[in-house]
Amino acid sequence: MPPIYVETDNKKEKLYNAHLAGAALASKLEGRIEAMTKKAVDDQAGFTTSKTEGAKGYFIRFKLTKFEASGGSTKCVLLGEIERYPKSGTKSGAKGAEMVNLGKWEGTAEASGTSEGSAMQCVEAIMEAKLPKAFPAMTADMKKR
């Protein structure tokens, strides 16, 4: 079986959304989420971020759903989703998303301080906890396709 492809290009598809952190910080957090996702995928046996002709795989999306930097700490919540790649056709002929069921794939973290570094620590903690759980779900789902 060829490696399972994971699309991580945030420019083609808006895969990572951290707008709640404010424009300047959002782009940095989104870049960190993208880098951590790419590294986790490329380090996982049987997975790749290198697209080939006719590749089948997944989109991994993360959205910052809560961000609070006050009172000497930074709190954040990231919601993750996995969708099948490529998007499939719907009854109307449009391309639609097919979700992989992970239940509520959400993570919460808190870091001391309210700096950019604190926000990065908060997001990184969630990513480190959540990304490893994606691979068994994608592997199991791929066997059904």
pTM across the whole model: 0.91
pLDDT tops 90 at residue 89: no
pLDDT in tens, 92-105: 766 778 889 877 89
Residue in this structure with the two tokens 């290198």, named with its chain if needed? 50
